[in-house]
Amino acid sequence: MKLLVVVLAAVSLCASEDIPQVPGDNSHYVEGVSRYIWMPDGEGAQHLVDLHEPVDESVLDERNGALNEYWLFTRRNSNNRQLIRHGDVNTIRNSNYNGGRPLMVIVHGWNNNGHSGLNALIRDAYLAVADANVIVVDWRNHANSPYNTAVRAVPSVGQHLGDFVGWLLSNGGGNWNNVHLVGFSLGAHVVGNAGRRGGGRASRITGLDPAGPQWGRNNNALRGSDGQYVEAIHTDGGYLGIMDPIGNANFYPNGGRNRQPGCSNSACSHGRANYLFASSIRTNHFNGRRCNNLSQAQNNQCTGANLRMGNSILNKRGSGLYGLRTGSNWPF
């Protein structure tokens, strides 16, 4: 009898849930309501995520971020990483790190790693326009956990990153005014926590379609006080990305949501933020117009003052909501 009750309960649960059947189709999803959502990994494969799945506490502790790896790229080693180990000064001395140059840090999202395409895309764009230090953060040990577990790991990963940047500047030279932290999806919230750990001193933080599921009203989410200037580029708001204006400046290209031009699903729209940002570094041609409210931004009705979206300018400043239109193919 007990077994029958369990079976009937499971059948009832399945019948009451809108479980999407088409990989990548998130048209069913309602933020804060839906239980399931499709999420892509670093190779573009779709995974059905259960947002009610219990967190795996066994892999979480205050030292989650101690497993981060930090890969240095410069114009002298643009394709071959140099591993810098936090606490080992010799790894700085034996690398091409130069404290007199800007420092850009790139952080991937869920089910990605340091080899994921977004890192090379942004790294190469930045090194094309600036003689700089680029650090790619590999936090795969927790990024490749079930989604809810990875969400819980974000604060520690970010705090350890913030400590690493402070240590690198102290031992290798440089200062926070030359630091630009960039993160995609969950990585956007990682760099928010890193900036917070650094006392909000980073000159600039860019969140590329900051992750949405589990991040509404989350105190660990990216926010405007995490750096001297914090911007968010929203491209899949309400699905994989957050729609809320969480930075100082918030850009909503093509309404900030699915479907972005040339995209057929939210996974493509989510990842479009990376391509728009990389293009903006190389060309700085995206002109945002200030919006009076979020509704104007979502409906491409913004006609106010101008602010460029993205680019590599370290001392960039601005605030407000901005809308703009882009093309469907590179350079958009």
- Residue 143 makes CB contacts below 8 A (sequence gap 6+) with 108, 109, 110, 111, 112, 113, 150, 153, 186
What is the number of H-type helices and E-type strands within the chain? 8, 13
Q: Catalytic annotation on 209?
A: yes
Task: Spot the catalytic one: 108, 142, 180, 270.
Answer: 270
**What does the alpha-carbon distance between residue 65 and residue 51 come to, in Å, rounded to a whole number?**
23
Task: Spot the catalytic one: 116, 145, 185, 279.
Answer: 185
Q: Catalytic annotation on 185?
A: yes
Task: Spot the catalytic one: 138, 163, 209, 236.
Answer: 209
Rounded to the nearest 5 degrees, what angle is found at the Cα of 249, between the Cα atoms of 174 and 117?
Answer: 65
* Cis status of the peptide bond prior to 331, with omega within 30 of 0: yes
DSSP 132-188: -EEEEEE-HHHHTS-HHHHHHHHHHHHHHHHHHHHHHHHHH---GGGEEEEEETHHH
| Catalytic residue ranges | 185, 209, 270
